[in-house]
Amino acid sequence: MHELSVCQALVDQLADLARREAAQRVTAAVLRVGPMSGIVPDLLLHAFPFASAETVADGAELRFEHAPVRVACRRCGAETDAEPGRLVCGACGDWQTRLVSGDELLLVSVELER
Amino acid sequence: MCNTCGCNVTDANRHLLDDPAAQAHETSAGGAVVVLQRLLDANDREAAHNREHFDEHAVLVLNLMSSPGSGKTRLLEATIDALRGEARIAVIEGDLETENDADRIRAKGVVAHQITTGTACHLDAHMVHDALHHVALEGLDVLFIENVGNLVCPASFDLGQHRNVTLLSVTEGDDKPAKYPVMFRAADLMLITKADLLGAIEEFAPERAIRAFRDLANPGPVLTVSAKTGVGLATWLDWLRAEIRAQKARVAAGETLRPKVQPEGAALHAHDHEHTHLHEHPHTHGDGVTHSHPHSHTHAHGHAHSHGHEGEHRHEHADGHAAGDDHDHAHGG
């Protein structure tokens, strides 16, 4: 699963941060993961202990910020909720929308033990 | 400064983000350090590096993605035959195991490098970078990267390509775009393949596949092809020729291009350079070929229409007059 690759990238980022901040340990990391990112938060949670074993992020808590799927309609201008498999405008039904939220795959913040 | 995603955080200004005095609101209580960095930042940087290599040699790079067995290699074989003497092609193949696909391409007299990923379900920018040591870019017109057959994972990894081409074979079902939205949203072009089977598989309606594709807000062109019979192939080749010309024009103008939909980055970076007028003119002439014409205006778009060769067509024009959103001017966020 590609969540392991993503987890390894996350652990590398956490290790870099810890080094730059002269921290001993990463105790928590906050992620913002949208449904349209292609990454499943639960699978990240499962992969994280393996990817972080014996690193500065070993035992860190992963927390997720919700990122709803939202689209802005190019035709009527409305901003509405949408389903991942159907990104049409919730107001007028047009398909010509722009995703404004829901594909995030971000490391938002970390908590460090110095 | 874009405070939304951290896209502009560089080594030069990172101290502002990390310094509580300089950016007090960026650092929350409890000693947490605000990062706001893409999780795949390292991959993305390697992908950008690959893209620089490609642009240096004015090579168009296409990332082919689909389920296993939807006809990626067969399409490449037909494409190589059709463009022999006209375009110089190389191929990077991604599979879990075997050199089989690379061997099929090599049998056509084209350089092919096989990446065997072992258990990895996708290619990433590092694997492609390593493969570039085996594929000379000098003198190439187009490099195809045939990703691992998988409708999920490859969509999340930028490789440095300019366009994503996603294949959907008629044996897979016309609701695949709705089932795998991340993949089909990332497609700059959707190819409905194995069109020769359309008569035998009445469950598959190209119109429904296109509807599902549009419902992902994707204005990209859709072409229906059969690499076996050659139906629809001329339109695919015209798209390819136009993309090759567009890439050379971009390089001459000092510009580059990333696939239209980037995971996460695009939405946050879309400070609306978009002036999009989308018109759809579905023309149904009733038979196997479904077209959709990309007026997705990269400059130098000489997208030649080549209808009339395969009999009647079903057309769908998705005229994405996107003046600015096709380009990546490498703006600083």
Mean pLDDT for the stretch of residues B83-112 = 96
Confidence of residue A3 (pLDDT cuts 50, 70, 90): confident
Strand-pair partners of A111: A28, B32
A40-47: long-range contacts, CB 8 A cutoff, minimum separation 24: A40/A3, A43/A1, A43/A3, A44/A3, A44/A6, A44/A7, A44/A10, A46/A3, A47/A1, A47/A3, A47/A4, A47/A6, A47/A7
What is chain B's length?
A: 333
Residues in B closer than 8 angstroms to A101, CB to CB, are 267
Residues in B closer than 8 angstroms to A60, CB to CB, are none
Average predicted confidence (pLDDT) for chain A: 95
| Residue B272: closest C-alpha in chain A | A98
> Could you give phi then psi for residue B223, rounded to 5 degrees?
-125, 145
pLDDT of residue B31: 66
Contact B261, B189 (CB under 8 A): no
Element holding A9 (H helix, E strand): helix A2-20
Element holding A14 (H helix, E strand): helix A2-20
The predicted-structure confidence for A7-47, as pLDDT tens digits, reads as follows 999 999 999 999 999 999 999 999 999 999 999 999 999 99
pLDDT of residue B66: 97
Q: Test B33 with A109 for CB contact under 8 angstroms.
A: yes
The predicted-structure confidence for B202-237, as pLDDT tens digits, reads as follows 999 999 999 999 999 999 999 999 999 999 999 999
Tell me the C-alpha to C-alpha distance, in Å, between residue B46 and each of B41, B76, B269.
Answer: 9, 26, 19
Confidence of residue B158 (pLDDT cuts 50, 70, 90): very high
If contacts are CB pairs under 8 Å, which of residues 105-164 in chain B contact chain A?
Answer: 120-122, 124, 152-153, 155-157
Report which listed range, A74-78, B120-124, B292-296, is most confident: A74-78
On the 0-12 / 13-18 / 19+ scale of CB atoms within 10 A, A43 is middle
| Residue A34: closest C-alpha in chain B | B264
What domain count does chain A have? 1
| Residue B214: closest C-alpha in chain A | A95
The CA distance from A52 to B5, in Å, is 25
Token pair for B247: 């890439």
> Lowest mean pLDDT: which of A23-32, A53-62, B22-31, B175-184?
B22-31
> Lowest mean pLDDT: which of A15-19, A105-109, B2-6, B297-301?
B2-6
On the 0-12 / 13-18 / 19+ scale of CB atoms within 10 A, B203 is exposed
pLDDT of residue B261: 64
Alpha helix stretches (DSSP H) within chain B: 14-18, 41-56, 72-82, 100-106, 125-131, 176-179, 181-185, 206-214, 233-252, 265-269
Confidence of residue B262 (pLDDT cuts 50, 70, 90): low
The CA distance from B51 to B6, in Å, is 22
Mean pLDDT for the stretch of residues A77-88 = 97
Judge whether A34 is closer than 8 Å to chain B, CB to CB: yes
Please check the confidence at residue B313 and state whether its pLDDT lies above 50.
Answer: no
Please check the confidence at residue B2 and state whether its pLDDT lies above 80.
Answer: no
Please check the confidence at residue B285 and state whether its pLDDT lies above 80.
Answer: no
Please check the confidence at residue A111 and state whether its pLDDT lies above 80.
Answer: yes
Residues in A closer than 8 angstroms to B151, CB to CB, are none
pLDDT of residue B307: 37
Q: Is the dihedral of CA B225, B226, B227, B232 positive or negative?
A: negative
Query: Which residue, among B3, B38, B39, would best test binding to A if mutated, counting the most A CBs under 10 Å from its CB?
Result: B39
Nearest CB among B31, B40, B216 relative to A105 is that of B40
Residues in A closer than 8 angstroms to B155, CB to CB, are 38
Nearest CB among A5, A17, A103 relative to B263 is that of A103
The predicted-structure confidence for B4-39, as pLDDT tens digits, reads as follows 223 333 333 344 444 443 333 344 444 689 999 999
Nearest CB among B40, B217, B263 relative to A98 is that of B217
pLDDT of residue B120: 85
Query: Which residue, among B264, B268, B292, would best test binding to A if mutated, counting the most A CBs under 10 Å from its CB?
Result: B264
Could you give the percent of chain B with pLDDT greater than 70?
69
On the 0-12 / 13-18 / 19+ scale of CB atoms within 10 A, A32 is buried
Please check the confidence at residue B279 and state whether its pLDDT lies above 80.
Answer: no
> Lowest mean pLDDT: which of B176-185, B187-196, B289-298?
B289-298
CA atoms lying within 13 Å on the CB side of residue B33:
26
Residues in B closer than 8 angstroms to A9, CB to CB, are 39-43
Residues in B closer than 8 angstroms to A106, CB to CB, are 5-6, 36-39, 264
Tell me the C-alpha to C-alpha distance, in Å, between residue B179 and each of B53, B123, B294, B299.
Answer: 35, 22, 24, 34
CA distance A98 to chain B (A): 7
Nearest CB among B157, B181, B274 relative to A84 is that of B181
Pairs across A and B, CB distance < 8 A? 140
The amino acid at residue A108 is: V
Judge whether B267 is closer than 8 Å to chain A, CB to CB: yes
Q: Test B36 with A108 for CB contact under 8 angstroms.
A: yes
List of E strands, A1-114: 25-33, 61-66, 70-73, 79-81, 97-101, 105-113
Judge whether B322 is closer than 8 Å to chain A, CB to CB: no
Residues in B closer than 8 angstroms to A88, CB to CB, are 215, 217
pLDDT of residue A2: 83
Please check the confidence at residue B292 and state whether its pLDDT lies above 90.
Answer: no
Q: Looking up tokens 């598989």, which residue turns up?
A: B201
Q: What are the structural domains, with CATH classification, of chain B?
A: 47-320 (3.40.50.300)
CA distance A3 to chain B (A): 9
Confidence of residue B60 (pLDDT cuts 50, 70, 90): very high
CA distance A7 to chain B (A): 8
CATH code for the domain in which residue A88 is found = 3.30.2320.80
Range of the domain at A101: 2-113
Please check the confidence at residue B92 and state whether its pLDDT lies above 80.
Answer: yes
Of B299 and B201, the one with more pLDDT:
B201
Q: Test B32 with A110 for CB contact under 8 angstroms.
A: yes
